[in-house]
């Protein structure tokens, strides 16, 4: 069985349907990019996959024993976070909160996990620094470390490299690739078609519904793929 299956899902907000008849499944080991222009319903789809938002119709099913506490996600930053007084370590460690259930305090293993992820992302030296005083790239890494603390089977990324410079972007995708090689399922939502084609293995192109679902090579050869990849180079 697939990790996550969408069955005839329709999505919308405030009575407005933004995408309908969405059916696909995400398998263990996928590196999937969901792409589409702004307003195509891809962020709403992500919310439905994360079960933050209920679909208007259809259902999202978790399979293979996937539990919500085994999911990690790196979402776009909220206004609340921009001015939040917390150390990087506190932020990263909060990725372990879902594993604690109703247990009140973090264990040594939780703290070690958080420190390991920070080491992996090269932000150990920022441990005691205040989150709001970091640069965009550093904040993104701290949030990725938090997501990695939470992710055991699947990691969701929502426009992960928006606002990052090219060097940091490349580093970022190298880390994601490494995680994918080690068995993590990756689902990325992005309007950056070039990164999606360059790094992921499977593409879902959305615009009010699914226009394309297949491998990157198939996508490049398809009419819609050729148009979208070509079209973006002009702007």
Partner 1 sequence: MTDLFEYISVMFSYTFILRALIAGALVSLCAALLGVSLVLKKYSMIGDGLSHVGFGAIALATALNFAPMKFTVPVVIVAAVLLLRVSESSKIKGDSAIAMISTGALAVGILAASMTTGMNTDINSYLFGSILAMTKEDVVLSAVLSVVVIILFIVFYNKIFAVTFDENFAAATGTNVKAYNMLIAVLTSVTVVLGMRMMGALLISSLIIFPSLTAMRVCKKFKSVIFVSAVVSVLCFVVGLIISYIASTPTGATVVVLNIAVFLIFAAAGKIINK
Kindly indicate which of the ranges 1-9, 29-37, 97-105, 163-171 contains the residues binding partner 1, using the contact rule CB under 8 A.
97-105
Kindly indicate which of the ranges 73-81, 191-199, 210-218, 226-234 contains the residues binding partner 1, using the contact rule CB under 8 A.
73-81
Binds partner 1 by CB under 8 A, chosen from 2, 130, 164, 168: 130
Interaction between residue 217 and partner 1 (CB under 8 A): no
From residue 85, alpha-carbon distances to 29, 90, 133, 150, 156 in Å are: 36, 10, 9, 22, 25
Q: How far is the CB of 129 from partner 1 (least distance, A)?
A: 8
CA distance 200 to 196: 6
Closer residue to partner 1 in complex, CB, 134/211: 134
Strands (E), 14-100: 16-26, 31-35, 57-62, 71-74
Q: Rounded to 10 degrees, what is the CA torsion of 110, 148, 19, 15?
A: 30
Kindly indicate which of the ranges 21-29, 71-79, 177-185, 217-225 contains the residues binding partner 1, using the contact rule CB under 8 A.
71-79
If we measure between CA atoms, which residue out of 64, 63, 82 comes closest to residue 6?
63
Closer residue to partner 1 in complex, CB, 65/166: 65
Strand order in the sheet with 16-26: 16-26, 4-13, 57-62
Interaction between residue 100 and partner 1 (CB under 8 A): yes
If we measure between CA atoms, which residue out of 33, 25, 34 comes closest to residue 3?
25
Interaction between residue 91 and partner 1 (CB under 8 A): yes
Report 159-198 residues binding partner 1 (CB under 8 A): none
Q: How far is the CB of 168 from partner 1 (least distance, A)?
A: 21
Closer residue to partner 1 in complex, CB, 31/62: 62
User: Please, are residues 231 and 197 in contact by the beta-carbon 8 Å criterion?
Assistant: no
Interaction between residue 98 and partner 1 (CB under 8 A): yes
Interaction between residue 15 and partner 1 (CB under 8 A): no
User: Please, are residues 66 and 154 in contact by the beta-carbon 8 Å criterion?
Assistant: yes
Kindly indicate which of the ranges 93-101, 177-185, 201-209, 225-233 contains the residues binding partner 1, using the contact rule CB under 8 A.
93-101
CA distance 114 to 157: 19
Residues lying near partner 1 in the complex (CB under 8 A): 47, 50-52, 67-69, 71-73, 75, 78, 80-81, 84-87, 90-91, 94-95, 97-98, 100, 104-106, 128-130, 133, 146-147, 150, 156
């Amino acid at each position: 069985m697939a990790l996550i299956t969408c069955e005839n899902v329709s999505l919308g907000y405030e009575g407005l349907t933004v995408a309908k008849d969405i059916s696909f499944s995400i398998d263990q080991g996928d590196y999937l990019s969901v792409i589409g222009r702004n307003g195509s319903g891809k962020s709403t789809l992500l919310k439905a996959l994360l079960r933050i938002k209920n679909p208007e119709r259809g259902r999202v099913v978790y399979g293979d024993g996937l539990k919500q506490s085994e999911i990690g996600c790196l979402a776009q930053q909220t206004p609340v976070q921009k001015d939040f007084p917390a150390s990087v370590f506190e932020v990263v460690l909060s990725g372990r909160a879902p594993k604690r259930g109703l247990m009140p305090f973090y264990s040594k293993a939780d703290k070690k996990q958080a420190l390991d992820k920070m080491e992996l992302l090269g932000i150990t030296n920022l441990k005691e620094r205040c989150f709001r005083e970091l640069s965009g790239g550093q904040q993104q890494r701290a949030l990725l470390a938090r997501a990695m603390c939470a992710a055991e089977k699947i990691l969701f990324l929502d426009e992960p490299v928006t606002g990052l410079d090219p060097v940091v972007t490349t580093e970022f995708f190298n880390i994601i690739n490494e995680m994918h090689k080690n068995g993590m399922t990756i689902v990325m939502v992005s309007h950056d078609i070039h990164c999606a084609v360059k790094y992921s293995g499977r593409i879902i192109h959305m615009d009010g519904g699914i226009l394309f679902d297949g491998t990157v090579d198939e996508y490049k050869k398809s009419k819609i793929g050729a148009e979208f990849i070509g079209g973006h180079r002009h702007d």
